[in-house]
Amino acid sequence: MQTADEKRNFASLLKSGANVINFGMAGFYDDLKKQEIPVVQMDWTPKTVNSNLLAKLKMLKKS
Amino acid sequence: MQKLEIIRGVYYDSVTLMLAAKELNKFKGVEYSSLSMGTEANYRIMANGGFDLTGINATPADLIIGVRGEEEDLLANAVAKAREYLISPPWEKTSCAAGYQPKSLDGAFSIMPDANLAIISVAGQYAVSVASECIDKGLNVMIFSDNVPLDKEIELKKHAAEKNLLVMGPDCGTAIIRGAALGMANVCPVGPVGIVAAAWTGLQEVHTQLARRGVGTMHGIGTGGRDVKADVGGLSALAAMDALAVDEEITVLLVIGKPPDPEVERRILAMAEKVGKPVVTCFIGSSTSGASASLFSCAELEESAAVTAALVKGMNPADAGKTLKEEISRWAGETVKSIGKRRGYLRGLYSGSALCYEAQLLTSQALGSVWSNSPLDKKMRLADSLVSHGHTIVDYGDDEFTQGRLHPMIDPTFRCERIVAEARDESVGVILFDVVLGYGCHRDPAGVVAEAVLEARRFYGKRIAFVASVCGTDDDPQNLSEQTKKLEFAGICVASSNARAARLAAALIEQ
């Protein structure tokens, strides 16, 4: 039986196809979805960034 | 007059910010705008764009909105508009906003336990730590980001190798896994070819040229251009070749890129001799030595696709290469007769770096030395990339043009301004360019370029011959046939490969 690491190594990627975790450009996520490639989009920000401030921006717009 | 505003503690990727700035530039009263995270590089780019950043204390975790114009009220409105654009973008919305987006890799694994590849397009300064964490967690990585330090690239690749994982990149724009297009890649049939590519648009060119010959590709592994230089030593290229060598679905291996470091080339060729299946190499412009019965060396991208296709079909590869050369020569001769030679210089304006390299090589064989911002020979480097000199071919995909600006394959506007400017120059006879299709690329690049050519023709008549190649297929989102029609309608001579376009452009110059 394969270990989790063996399932993910490069040879296994070539054998089973890509299951993608996407960091960054959302356009890549959309293009993979269109091809029916399994993909998860990360809510990524640099460690110093407080992403909750996006919500504050939205509040500002409403007010 | 300028107006600057800092929004602290928010993060947007550079593509989102540049699209927002592009929209803002259309806004009443805005002469120029810039939306950037407060990194040192972005400070420099904004200062070069004419902003005075004295006293501004934004950090890389803060967003700077800058607008320039004449009226204060209009600039204040523009900043408000910028905030609005970021919350509700007027350009095409992505579908991922609707779904759950995990903040951690553990969160991602909880919804996709069999994830095996991370695609990373965050700013270069953050890409290393993201990639390192992904490798730690057992993921292969494709790094689209550039500006990754060389020593970090080597570290990541060695770290990955210890875990039997592969790093594609940095600066890897294209990959194909089981036919799926990752990044900027084309929709082509799936088949028995495996490609290892140290050149992103080079991979797109051979992938689509194989498709045009009815031959499919299973995998296209991008390594990033630096991989085959001496420092990195071909770590990813050799690992990819090794994996494709034992992959029973692959019957022919194609290895492409700009010429590698000689020692790396020796290692690649040594491995090629051992893989037990035919290997075609194309180190653009270079004729490798030590060919054996199963190793085929080509100097041009289309030639390498033709030879690979012949091998897949059980035909004679030498005949395929020879026939192609004769066909190109005949086609170029007939086309020159039909549209007539032009007096003056050649100007090439490229979005793909590998295609630009190949065009310089082929045109310089006919015209002598060609100037460039990314020249074959350092002596031919342009003093100013925006000012042409003699025969010139410019790579708009080079870092100097993409810092603070969208890549020309995503937004062709900046390159199109140069098409009109070059047409104004009476010493120019032929303008050559590439149009690259596929996922990740602009939705209608031919439409934008054709408009620029029609404008140039309106002002400067038919003095200049325009020549283009289109890299793509009819199954691409943009559709090759539709894109070709748009170019031809604008009076552009469209070639079916970059090599053909470059040879035709050179042949059109009266000497």
**Chunked in runs of 10, what are the mean pLDDT values of chain B (511 residues)?**
90 81 86 86 82 88 90 90 81 64 94 96 90 97 92 97 96 96 97 96 98 98 96 97 96 96 95 94 79 86 97 95 95 96 97 97 96 95 94 92 82 89 94 97 96 91 93 98 98 97 97 84
Give chain A positions within 8 Å (CB) of B111: 40
Instruction: Supply φ then ψ for residue B144, to 5 degrees.
Output: -80, -30
pLDDT for A49 equals: 47
Q: Which of residues 18-37 of A touch B (CB under 8 A)?
A: 18-35, 37
Nearest to A25 among B121, B165, B181 (CB): B121
Return d(Cα B131, Cα B125) in angstroms, integer: 11
For residue B240, give the nearest of B295, B175, B290 by alpha carbon.
B175
SS3 for A13? helix
- Residue B55 CB neighbours (<10 A): 6
Within an 8 Å CB–CB cutoff, is residue A59 touching chain B? no
pLDDT for B100 equals: 83
Residues 6+ away with beta carbon under 8 Å from B74: B27, B28, B29, B30
Give how far A61 is from chain B: nearest CA, Å.
Answer: 7
Whether residue B139 contacts residue A41, with contact meaning beta carbons closer than 8 Å, is answered with no
Flag if B122 and A23 touch (Cβ within 8 Å): yes
Q: pLDDT tier at A51 (50, 70, 90 boundaries)?
A: very low
pLDDT for B485 equals: 98
Nearest to A53 among B9, B119, B145 (CB): B9
Give chain A positions within 8 Å (CB) of B219: 14
Return d(Cα A16, Cα A13) in angstroms, integer: 5
SS3 for B27? coil
Local structure of residue B76 (DSSP, 8 states): H
Give chain A positions within 8 Å (CB) of B139: 8, 21
For residue B174, give the nearest of B308, B353, B372 by alpha carbon.
B353
Q: Which of A20-24, A34-38, B91-95 shows the lowest per-residue confidence on average (mean pLDDT)?
A: B91-95
Flag if B163 and A14 touch (Cβ within 8 Å): no
Residues 6+ away with beta carbon under 8 Å from B273: B290, B292, B294, B295
In Å, what is the CA distance from A3 to each residue of A9, A62, B133? 10, 50, 19
Whether residue B417 contacts residue B433, with contact meaning beta carbons closer than 8 Å, is answered with no
Q: pTM of the entire structure?
A: 0.89
Give chain A positions within 8 Å (CB) of B99: 41
Residue with tokens 């008549």: B461
Question: Could you tell me the sign of the dihedral formed by the alpha carbons of B299, B301, B302, B308, in that order?
Answer: positive
Flag if A19 and B59 touch (Cβ within 8 Å): no
Residue with tokens 């020249």: B375
Whether residue B196 contacts residue B240, with contact meaning beta carbons closer than 8 Å, is answered with yes
Give chain B positions within 8 Å (CB) of A58: 87
Whether residue B174 contacts residue B220, with contact meaning beta carbons closer than 8 Å, is answered with yes
Flag if A24 and B10 touch (Cβ within 8 Å): no
pLDDT for B498 equals: 98
Give chain A positions within 8 Å (CB) of B126: 46
pLDDT at A5 > cutoff 70: no
pLDDT for A7 equals: 65
pLDDT for B38 equals: 86
Q: pLDDT tier at A56 (50, 70, 90 boundaries)?
A: low
Whether residue B425 contacts residue B67, with contact meaning beta carbons closer than 8 Å, is answered with no
